[in-house]
Amino acid sequence: MLDLTKEIQLEPIFRKKYIIARILLHVIFFIVAFFVLYNILFAVVTLDFSFENPILNKNTNLNPHISTGRELPKDGKFLANETLLDNASPIGEFSKASVTFSSTENNSAVENISVTINKSYQALRYPTGSPLGFKNGSLLTTPDGSYYMVSDGALRKFSNTDTIVKLGYPKSAFLEISKDDLKYNRIGNEINDTLSYPNDTIFAIGDTYFQLKDGRLFPFISVQAFLTQFDQTIAIAKSKDFFQTNPVAEKFIGFADGTLASYDVSVYILSKGKSYPIMNPETFLAMGFKWEDIIPINQNELGAYEKQKQFTHNDPHPDGTIFFDEKNEKYFLIENGKKLPITNQSIIKTYSKQKPVIINTEGLEKFSSCTLKKKLFNDGTFTCDIPLEDLNNFIGNDYQIKTTFPNATKLSTFSIKFSTPMTWNSMRNSLSKIKTKIINRQTL
């Protein structure tokens, strides 16, 4: 190819400008590349909130609140001994959190007070409810030869084995438990009528499974939806004639609450008749979910759910999520804003067959702290740095920041900056996570 540029000769003055421009362009390129690479390898997440403009679009800190339940004051006025709580869920592993308050009144109420932080999952901060009993529809038997069914939350004993045989309950489906396990469900009436079935009985008619409620048969949306809640052995086989006395309800029963499902290229959490599309693989992993727990579903199965907004790392785990504390060997199920303890393996077997999210409840009891000091050359701003290294070993994506003001004060802004040091160890960790993300995206 003919190249005439070799014959072009610049005048000395233009040649000098050309060389300077090239050097300047290279410098700019390397500076931009450095900052981009720095932000990738050494994450910095800043969350800001303005008390003077709480609905401002620029507010990136979305969850500051008062511990007593009083609404967050729009003017930033806090009462004496009032506690400000905040939940932040940045994705990444950070070495410190820098907390900053700007005050417009009574600065002494802010200076020298302590700020604490701990790490867990949002849902684990819910109040603890009563221990969970066996699931509705469960068939149970004890060593003394007694047989039970859980119906409408109550433990109903079969009057005799003849009743079981005449109603058609398969004996192989009865789960063996101890007498002590019976205390977690209230006691209901005995089952002695061989002509009618208790609520929550499971039937198989053709290729469809049903659950009885008040004389109507509620169909499961699919066989695999049924299998996330029960074993096939629990179902009583019936012919279509059974519909004459027990009509089919219009409402379907879906997958076990908290089920992870995939359709096309998206992953969803299914809970309480609603589907929550998970925002991205980073959110999926930050919530402690595992790829092998995802169940592929079809369009009809997904269509039975009401689609919600994207599920992000700032959202708590939905109802139906089961947590397992490995160290203390304790299970919890999330339900209606509470975490319900599941006291033994027998009870957990009657709930979702998916693997639980692994947790460490010690993270709720371990705190790091710092003391707010006046910022140099700024009388109304107070800041301090909280080390996070001791919290990184605890599982969870939610940091809760807590500050109690001993005296009444007025705040204008509140910010938290999570940062990572520029060290070889941090860089290696970041590169390892980038590699994991690439693999996860290919898997998804």
pLDDT digits (tens, 9 = 90+) for 378-411: 778 999 999 998 898 889 999 999 999 999 999 9
**pTM, whole model, 2 decimals?**
0.82
Q: Flag whether pLDDT at 211 surpasses 60.
A: yes
- pLDDT tens digits for 104-117? 776 777 889 999 99
Give the model's pLDDT for residue 235.
96
Query: What is the sign of the dihedral through the CA atoms of 34, 36, 40 and 44?
Result: positive
Give the model's pLDDT for residue 432.
56
How large is the average pLDDT for residues 215-219? 96
How large is the average pLDDT for residues 246-255? 95
Which residue reads 């939610």 in tokens?
398
Mean pLDDT of the chain: 87
Give the model's pLDDT for residue 39.
56
Q: Flag whether pLDDT at 157 surpasses 50.
A: yes
Give the model's pLDDT for residue 424.
56
Q: Place 9 in a pLDDT band, splitting at 50, 70 and 90.
A: low
Q: Flag whether pLDDT at 371 surpasses 70.
A: yes
Which range is most confident: 304-318, 364-378, 409-423? 304-318
How large is the average pLDDT for residues 150-178? 95
Q: Flag whether pLDDT at 352 surpasses 80.
A: no
Answer with the residue of higher pLDDT: 310 or 428: 310
Give the model's pLDDT for residue 444.
47
Answer with the residue of higher pLDDT: 40 or 258: 258
How large is the average pLDDT for residues 330-347? 93
Domains delineated in the chain: 41-113+372-443 (2.60.120), 139-244 (no CATH), 259-363 (no CATH)
Q: HEC states along the chain?
A: CCCCHHHCCCCHHHHHHHHHHHHHHHHHHHHHHHHHHHHHHCCEEEEEEECCCCCCCCCCCCCCEECCCCCCCCCCEECCCEEEEEEECCCCCCCEEEEEEEEEECHHHCCCCEEEEEEECHHHHCCECCCCCCCCCCEEECCCCCEEEEECCEEEEECCHHHHHHHCCCHHHCEECCHHHHHHCEECCCECCCCCCCCCCEEEECCEEEEEECCEEEEECCHHHHHCCCCHHHCEEECHHHHHCCCECCCCECCCCCEEEEECCEEEEEECCEEEEECCHHHHHHCCCCHHHCEECCHHHHHCCEECCCECCCCCCCCCCEEEECCCCEEEEEECCEEEEECCHHHHCCCCCCCCEEECHHHHCCCEEEECEEECCEEEEEEEEEECHHHCCCCCCEEEEEEEECCCEEEEEEEEEEECCCCHHHHHHHHHHHHHHHHHHHHC
Answer with the residue of higher pLDDT: 51 or 8: 51
Q: Place 35 in a pLDDT band, splitting at 50, 70 and 90.
A: low
